[in-house]
């Protein structure tokens, strides 16, 4: 038997084993050829298997590149909502979204109290302002949730109140009807700017330090309002003892205790407890009129715009107003970017920032357009301009990741219209406690943890005390 026949016999007996004994140079050559044949056959099998399972890098199907979505819910309506909001795909559930949305509403419920209180200084009717604020907030939040699919909340901003009251009505001396026409122009300019800003490189040129500074400024502003209500201080921030502040501290204590225990319903528990205590001691009952629990009305503020100015506006007023509108749009951009970093949500292996600002989705332009449109709607109904609330991150902290939480928050605003007497008796001290804790949440970007809450309280209280001393010194 020759050497080649001997080696062939070895191959047949080994059934294509890779490790064959090599005796001669001829065996070595045949062995290398044999291994090459085996490797080619394995590669062909791998390609066939990869094509069969659609995992080959060389085989990319044109259609159905993503797996077909299968909802874990059996009911047809739940299945529809699950598919529409991508609830299961984003790793959340209905309970988390509903709790997150209602908590987001409770974290901004202070606007339903503060808005009528502030705008009534211009002569506007409190009840009509309340209804307009709740209606605009509800419709805007539901719209942004359905269109963007993100846990965002849009309502009338606190900073816009100050511009409306101090600049338009007090400084310029115009009536609130004329001020509403300014708000309409504000929304129109914002709508035009939204198309340019969303397609520019502005959103990518914002530095981290600038973003953090905005977050800290908003957090301290909200906390300052909360502490002022918590301590029942007047507008000049001078301290006046008030034992009702104990309710606010009790609300704050319930929130901290619920967080330590891991309860997700801490905002609900805190507000219900504060209402029960307030009713038990008679606090706030003088604000409620049970005999006048009528259907809400908008007749005193709706469609009262007045575009007839008594004289031409100076050019510098127009420039200031356009600049203010531009910076309001920029603040909306910064707030939305800030929410993206506070939320830490990821979709489809893309970051939240890419999901919002990516060219394939263009959700950023939609969000700005929705906000601009509802600024104009707010002017027709009789309230101040809307903005994207940074408190939206509260829902994300609780695990909400879809627009369903925005729909829940918007429906809560709409239902609140019919419960004005109840909302009016929520003590301002309780709302102050909620605002202080909201300020703590907004400082999470600078790693301000819950266990450092008392340090945060000392910092903000000391700053307010210094400001109060300075005001008293100047007045004397």
- What does the pLDDT read at residue 343? 60
The stretch 416-437 carries a mean pLDDT of 74
Averaged confidence pLDDT in the chain: 70
- What does the pLDDT read at residue 361? 52
- Inter-CA distances, 17 with 6, 39, 49, Å: 16, 12, 22
Lookup: tokens for 42: 């394995």
Residue 119 has pLDDT above 80, yes or no: yes
- Across 48-62, 201-215, 318-332, 436-450, the highest mean pLDDT is recorded for 318-332
pLDDT tens for each residue of 10-57: 544 544 444 444 455 455 555 555 555 656 655 555 544 544 444 444
The stretch 433-447 carries a mean pLDDT of 69
The stretch 183-202 carries a mean pLDDT of 76
pLDDT tens for each residue of 348-404: 434 444 545 554 456 777 888 898 899 999 989 988 888 888 778 778 777 788 889
Residue 136 has pLDDT above 90, yes or no: yes
Q: What percent of the chain has pLDDT over 70?
A: 54
- What does the pLDDT read at residue 110? 79
The stretch 192-221 carries a mean pLDDT of 69
- What does the pLDDT read at residue 42? 56
The stretch 310-329 carries a mean pLDDT of 67
What does R_g of the chain's alpha carbons equal in angstroms?
31
The stretch 222-235 carries a mean pLDDT of 67
Q: pLDDT-based confidence at 99, cuts 50/70/90?
A: confident
- What does the pLDDT read at residue 467? 45
- What does the pLDDT read at residue 141? 94
> Sign of the C-alpha dihedral, residues 192, 201, 163, 154?
positive
280 vs 386, which has greater pLDDT?
386
Q: pLDDT-based confidence at 65, cuts 50/70/90?
A: very low
Any idea which residue has 């909200």 for tokens? 222
CA nearest neighbour of 322 among 160, 178, 158, 189:
189
Task: Burial-class residue 340 by CB neighbours within 10 Å (0-12, 13-18, 19+).
Answer: buried
Q: Find out whether 421 and 145 touch, Cβ atoms under 8 Å.
A: no
Residue 406 has pLDDT above 50, yes or no: yes
- Inter-CA distances, 351 with 168, 237, 290, Å: 41, 42, 50
Q: Rounded to an integer, what distance in angstroms lies between the CA atom of residue 225 and that of residue 444?
A: 19
Q: Find out whether 161 and 118 touch, Cβ atoms under 8 Å.
A: yes
Q: What percent of the chain has pLDDT over 90?
A: 7
59 vs 198, which has greater pLDDT?
198
Residue 257 has pLDDT above 60, yes or no: yes
- What does the pLDDT read at residue 466? 45
Residue 261 has pLDDT above 60, yes or no: yes
């Amino acid at each position: 038997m020759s050497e080649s026949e001997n080696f062939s016999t070895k191959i047949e007996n080994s059934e294509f084993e890779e490790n064959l004994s090599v005796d001669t140079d001829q065996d070595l050559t045949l062995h290398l050829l044999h291994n090459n044949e085996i490797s080619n056959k394995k590669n062909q099998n791998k390609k066939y298997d990869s094509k069969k399972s659609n995992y080959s890098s060389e085989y990319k199907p044109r259609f159905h590149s993503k797996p077909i979505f299968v909802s874990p819910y059996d009911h047809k309506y739940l299945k529809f909502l699950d598919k529409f909001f991508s609830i299961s795909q984003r790793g959340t559930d209905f309970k988390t979204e509903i709790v997150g949305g209602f908590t987001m509403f409770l974290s901004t419920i202070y606007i339903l109290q503060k808005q009528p209180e502030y705008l009534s200084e211009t002569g506007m009717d409190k009840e009509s302002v309340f209804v307009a604020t709740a209606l605009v907030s509800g419709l805007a939040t539901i719209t942004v949730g359905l269109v963007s699919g993100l846990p965002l909340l849009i309502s009338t901003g606190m900073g816009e109140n100050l511009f409306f009251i101090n600049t338009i009505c007090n400084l310029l001396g115009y009536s609130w009807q004329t001020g509403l026409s300014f708000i309409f122009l504000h929304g129109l300019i914002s709508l035009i700017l939204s198309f340019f800003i969303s397609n520019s490189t502005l959103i990518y040129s914002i530095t981290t330090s600038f973003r953090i500074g905005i977050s800290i400024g908003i957090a301290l502003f909200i906390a300052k309002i909360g502490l002022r209500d918590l301590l029942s201080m007047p507008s000049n921030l001078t301290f006046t003892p008030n034992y009702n502040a104990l309710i606010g501290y009790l609300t704050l204590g319930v929130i901290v205790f619920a967080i330590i225990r891991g309860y997700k319903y801490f905002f609900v528990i805190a507000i219900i407890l504060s209402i029960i205590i307030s009713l038990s001691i008679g606090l706030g009952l003088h604000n409620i009129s049970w005999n006048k629990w009528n259907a809400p009305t908008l007749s005193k503020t709706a469609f009262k715009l007045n575009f007839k100015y008594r004289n031409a506006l100076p050019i510098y007023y127009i420039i200031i107003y356009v600049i203010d509108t531009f910076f309001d749009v920029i603040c909306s951009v910064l707030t939305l970017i800030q929410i993206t970093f506070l939320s830490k949500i990821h979709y489809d292996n893309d970051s939240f920032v890419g999901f919002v600002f990516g060219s394939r989705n263009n959700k950023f332009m939609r969000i700005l357009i929705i906000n601009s449109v509802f600024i104009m709607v707010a002017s027709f109904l009789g309230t101040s301009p809307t903005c994207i609330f940074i408190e939206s991150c509260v829902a994300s902290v609780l695990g909400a990741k879809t627009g369903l939480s925005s729909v829940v928050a918007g429906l809560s605003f709409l239902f609140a219209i019919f419960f004005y007497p109840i909302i009016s008796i929520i003590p301002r001290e309780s709302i102050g406690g909620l605002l202080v804790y909201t300020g703590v949440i907004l400082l999470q970007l600078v790693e301000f943890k819950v266990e450092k809450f008392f340090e945060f309280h000392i910092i903000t209280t000391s700053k307010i005390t210094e400001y109060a001393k300075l005001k008293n010194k100047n007045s004397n």
